[in-house]
């Protein structure tokens, strides 16, 4: 899905969705999984639902984001510290 082909909608590509998630995380230091889905759907439409897990995996593999555990079910940019109780 990263390699483009002639039928690929570039707005729904993994790279574009990943860039959007990074921008969203810079605005809000922590985003829950539902927040990521809802903000992406508001921006790109319902078809983005299939691409979000791939984009999150891509960012995780690049070591750009970290997962904050099962209790929060949220993501933050790598290197940003939060205080949890």
- Asked, for residue 46, whether it belongs to a domain, the answer is yes
pLDDT digits (tens, 9 = 90+) for 16-74: 999 999 999 999 989 999 999 999 999 999 999 999 999 999 999 999 999 988 788 99
- Given a cut of 60, whether residue 85 has pLDDT beyond it is no
Q: What is the pTM of this model?
A: 0.84
3 in a structural domain:
no
Number of domains in the chain: 1
Domain that holds residue 67: 10-77
Residue 83 resides in a domain: no
Give the pair of three-digit tokens for residue 7. 């039928």
Taking 70 as the threshold, does the pLDDT of residue 6 lie above it? yes
Residue 83's pLDDT band (cuts 50, 70, 90): low
């Amino acid at each position: 899905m990263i390699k483009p082909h002639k039928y690929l909608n570039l707005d729904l590509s993994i790279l574009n969705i990943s860039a959007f998630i990074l921008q969203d995380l810079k605005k809000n230091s922590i985003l829950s999984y539902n927040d990521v889905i809802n903000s992406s759907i508001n921006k790109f439409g319902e078809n983005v639902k299939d691409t979000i897990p791939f984009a999150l995996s891509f960012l995780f593999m690049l070591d750009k984001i970290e997962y904050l555990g099962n209790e929060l079910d949220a993501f933050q940019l790598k290197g940003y510290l939060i205080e949890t109780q």
